[in-house]
Amino acid sequence: MNPSESIPLRPAEPAPAFSDVVYGNVMSHFYRGELGRIMIWRQRLDVTTTWALTSTTTILTVAFSFRDVPHVIFFFSLIVVSMMLWIEARRYRFYDAYRARVRMLEAHFIMPVVMQNRDLLEGEWRKLVSQDLLVPAYKISRLEAVARRLKRNYALLYAVTLIAWVTKIILHAPPGNPIESVADFYDLMAVGRLPSWAVASSFSLTVAMIISMLIWLARRSDSEVQEFGERDRARWKI
């Protein structure tokens, strides 16, 4: 090869568009801090879910291990699960508020850095993040937080408790009073001075609450994480 001939070189990659080291360091530490914060709140959500699951499992074990245990014990199970749901919904509002900051940084700062495109940084995201740092605010209502946690975990716990309630009444019916009709089942729902209509009302109200909140959430709120449903998005693995 003639040494005088020039060797074609591959075009060099463009220089990084983000050269402010101080700004980049501050934003990276800010992102790391917010990510650690939402992980702490994520762990707190898991704790309340574990409490609800443990209490439900314990009540199920006791109810089916002893025939003499009245089926009204499942009413107290519903109360415990509802308390855990309310506490977890409150914690979820904090988790969602900090998660919104992380998503803002990922969508408007980290993604433009990865793409090396300053045009993607345009917008009011800096102002929104600054305002949220000065005056933190919830991003979802208390009702939506309850509905989201109900959809994620607690709907299954409620369903298991209600099914176990019905099963307890059928399996542990008095030997001299077998269940042969719906009327017999309704009569056996009474416990002591607690009439059948009160037990049936609490049962029906719980089912109606779960169904109505799930329907409301499906119509009003989007999912936290989108499924791989779009055709233009490849199913890639790392």
In a domain, 117, yes or no: yes
Amino acid at position 2, single letter: N
Q: How many domains does the chain have?
A: 1
Give the CA angle between residues 226, 227, 232 to the nearest 5°: 95
pLDDT tens for residues 65-119? 888 888 888 888 999 999 999 999 999 999 999 999 998 888 888 888 788 777 7
What pLDDT, on a 0 to 100 scale, did the predictor assign at position 186?
81
pLDDT tens for residues 121-132? 667 888 888 888
Residue 236 has which token pair? 């890639």
Radius of gyration of the chain (CA): 28
For residue 45, give its domain range: 21-220
Question: Is 187:196 a contact under the CB 8 Å cutoff?
Answer: yes
Question: Is 202:75 a contact under the CB 8 Å cutoff?
Answer: yes
pTM of the model: 0.78
Q: Place 237 in a pLDDT band, splitting at 50, 70 and 90.
A: low
In a domain, 228, yes or no: no
In a domain, 5, yes or no: no
In a domain, 234, yes or no: no
In a domain, 169, yes or no: yes
d(CA 60, CA 64): 6
